[in-house]
Amino acid sequence: MDQLNNNIALRTIRKVNEGRFTDSHDLLAAEEPLEISLAYNSGISVGQKIISVTMRTPGNDAELAVGFLFTEGIIQDPQQIRSVNGIPFTENKILVTLNEEARPVLQRTERNFYTTSSCGVCGKASIDAIKTVSVFPVTNDDIVIDAGLIYLLPEKLREKQVSFNSTGGLHASALFDLAGNFMMLREDVGRHNALDKVIGGAFTENKLPLSESILLLSGRASFELVQKAMMAGIKIIAAIGAPSTLAVEAAEEGGITLVGFLRNESFNIYSNNRRIKINK
């Protein structure tokens, strides 16, 4: 297998079509483990702790690590971070070092050592640890956008999904402003990783909260994705696929407008429909 770049590998395959074998090539989405470690001062001593190992598509690893730590509630402010670096002489390991006075919140974040690309909360040590609390409280707002703007987002997403168009195997999370202008996109084999990369990028650039942004998800809307969006202060989520029951409940609780089944100029609004209007 030949690695073309961080995201894509070329594989020789055998195709079966109408009873015939033919040798061909296929482009595959890359998937590799990433070990995220945190170095910090506990107040008693300086320590280093492995926080998680997640299966991800290589690329934007610093954003993924920082976004993960933020959406898990472990860190709250980019000023807490001294550095984010790959660990020397190793692959697929990244170390986030906090400033001496920064104190991470680790009490409810114990995970099993391994997390698959399809599940971000399945490694949690307890049910109570699933929920995280955003540093951005739910507040009143007067955001209103036209339904026609939301119709246009999937096509804009497809235009930007370079790796997906090559492999068909990556999830995407994208940000648009309230006028529908593209802001940022990240892809990954794990839908939660793609969103952590987006939020990590915004977090690093001091662009949180993302209350003036629309989050578009290339697949379904799960509880975890809604919770991560809530942590970043996002008010509007649109998903190409279906939401889960817990996703809808979390969106309702967090004051988020949640749209699902966005396709062919139609969609469903599952919570807080006041932010979407139709201009006739």
* Angstrom distance (rounded) from CA 217 to CA 173: 5
What is the bridge-based pairing of β-strands 32-41 and 46-56?
antiparallel
The total number of residues shown for the chain amounts to: 280
Which of 119, 129, 178, 183 does the annotation list as catalytic? 119
DSSP 217-229: ESS-B-HHHHHHH
Q: Any idea which residue has 């990783």 for tokens? A: 193
Could you give the CA distance from residue 246 to residue 226 in angstroms, rounded to a whole number?
9
Place of tokens 């955003």: 134
Beta strands in 203-272 (DSSP E): 213-217, 236-239, 257-263, 266-271
Six-digit token string for 266: 């139609």
Pick the closest to residue 228 from 255, 202, 260, 195 (CA basis).
Answer: 195
List the strands of the sheet with 2-3, edge to edge: 2-3, 8-17, 20-29
Q: What are phi and psi of 194, to 5 degrees?
A: -60, -40
Would you call 122 a catalytic residue per the annotation?
A: no
Mind telling me the catalytic residues?
Answer: 119
